[in-house]
Amino acid sequence: MNRRERKGGGGHGSERIGQLVDGRYRLCRLIGKGGMSSVYEATTEGDDRRVAIKLLHPTLASDSDAVARLHREATILSAIKHPNICRIFGVGNTDQGSPYIVMERLCGETLARRIANDGPFEFSDLATSLKQVLGALEAAHVKGVMHRDLKPENIFLVETRPGTKTLAKLLDFGISSYLDGGPKDCRLTRSGMVMGTPYYMAPEQARGDSSLDQRADLWALGVVMYEALTGQRPFVANNYNTLLIEILRARPKPLADFIPFVPEPLAALFNRALAKDSKERFQSARAFATAVEQVEKLWGEQGITPPMWSSDAQRRASFDRGPLSEDTEVMVSRFREDGTEVMDDSRRGQLGTDLSETRDEE
């Protein structure tokens, strides 16, 4: 059991283990816990099939926005149906009235944990997972859905048989939104709210723009790609507001500052993925995936066969990310008309902790 699983053992967590949900699902183990819900491994009564159950915390069962978000996530997952998105089997309510989602139980680890355990990736090892996630994003965007919280913790690398390709799954559409605004009852964010995990926010997301589109997701994947290849996030700061300024104004360090061998096509891919102006970025997941494929192709055609790192020892020696925030909560902030941030004391403390901690796996 990893730290994230153990960490959820407080309220709304381990006390539910052993309970029978809706007369059908026996909760076996706490997998993860967030601000609004917990995820359990469960077995179905009668055939012992293993599934994952995402349960809204009981204290939020009467919160109409929280309930609507969980139901919307279930609706979105049911509509997209892509091999690289976690499958949903059903929805329901506990006897206490808390809604839940039944999903496939995945075996493996998150990209965040893989980076923490093994250090930076070689591009050739990362490319397959990138293209799979981009395929999942394309399917979501075609359905008019933006993920809004793409990060290493929400990309799951499924265990596969030796000799087979890695299977990446995109997780957690809990704060996703409709690209066209969607029906009124699905507009669960108000103007001026910033939603997402701060390190992966696109500039327009950090500004609190109301007209976000798929390019914010593609920026976030660019940040994930940078982090997977270097072991560092491109934008860091000691507090929330400074981080937003970094995202809006600063340029990330070139890959060559971390990696001994960076082919020009790969550097160019990053420059486009992390362009501040969304018009200069990849305009679609398909275009991003095509660029990844072109870098792979050039890699072979131009005889670029050496790895980016001269040795595995060098790769791991360069890896000093600090603690990885796998348990970072989704941050939500509101802004007054004068631009100052509105935040209650408890959330202010949470943000200060999340952004000042060093970034290694806890």
Lowest average pLDDT, out of 132-141, 175-184, 297-306, goes to: 297-306
Domain annotation covers residue 40: yes
Q: 115 and 236: one domain?
A: yes
Q: Are 254 and 271 members of one domain?
A: yes
Q: What is the mean pLDDT of residues 286-310?
A: 74
Within this chain, do residues 55 and 198 fall inside the same structural domain, yes or no? no
**pLDDT at residue 7 is higher than 50:** no
pLDDT digits (tens, 9 = 90+) for 59-114: 888 888 889 889 888 988 888 989 999 999 999 988 888 889 999 999 999 999 99
- Last residue of some domain: 76, 104, 132? 104
Provide the domain limits for residue 191.
Answer: 108-356
Does 10 map to a domain?
Answer: yes
Rounded to whole angstroms, the maximal C-alpha distance in the chain is: 62
**294 and 164 together in one domain:** yes
Position 307 confidence tier, pLDDT thresholds 50, 70, 90: low
Tell whether 188 and 120 lie within a shared domain: yes
Q: What is the pTM of this model?
A: 0.78
Let me know if residue 328 belongs to a domain.
yes
| 99 & 241 share domain | no
- Is 213 an active-site residue? no
Q: Are 167 and 237 contained in the same domain?
A: yes
What count of Cα atoms within 13 Å lies in the side-chain half-sphere of residue 189?
27
Of 104, 129, 156, the residue at which a domain comes to its end is 104
Check 149, 172, 217, 327 and give the catalytic one.
149
Lowest-pLDDT range, 72-76, 285-289, 345-349? 345-349
Do the beta carbons of residue 41 and residue 62 sit within 8 Å?
Answer: no
What tens digit of pLDDT does each residue of 47-65 get? 889 999 999 888 888 888 8
Once rounded to an integer, what is the mean pLDDT over residues 114-128?
91
361 domain-assigned: no
Which contacts (CB < 8 Å, 24+ apart) does range 179-185 have?
179/141, 179/144, 179/145, 179/146, 179/213, 179/214, 180/144, 182/144, 185/68
Q: Is the dihedral of CA 130, 136, 71, 2 positive or negative?
A: negative
Same domain for 221 and 146, yes or no, is yes
Report the pLDDT value the prediction gives residue 179, as an integer from 0 to 100: 78
Residue 172 inside a domain? The answer is yes
268 and 229, same structural domain? yes
Q: What per-residue confidence (pLDDT) applies to 338?
A: 37
CATH code of the domain covering residue 246: 1.10.510.10
Q: Tell me what pLDDT residue 106 has.
A: 92
pLDDT value of position 229: 94
State the pLDDT at residue 46: 85
**Confidence (pLDDT) at 164:** 73
Domain end point (choices 104, 126, 151): 104
* 86 shares a domain with 191: no
- The tokens for 271 are 């420059």
With respect to residue 238, please indicate whether it lies within any of the assigned structural domains: yes
Q: Does the residue 362 lie in any domain?
A: no
The total domain count for the chain is 2
Residue 58 lies in a domain: yes
Same domain, 131 and 273: yes
- Apex 238 CA angle, 235 and 244, nearest 5: 50
User: Do 71 and 132 belong to one domain?
Assistant: no
CATH number at residue 49: 3.30.200.20
Confidence of residue 264 (pLDDT cuts 50, 70, 90): confident
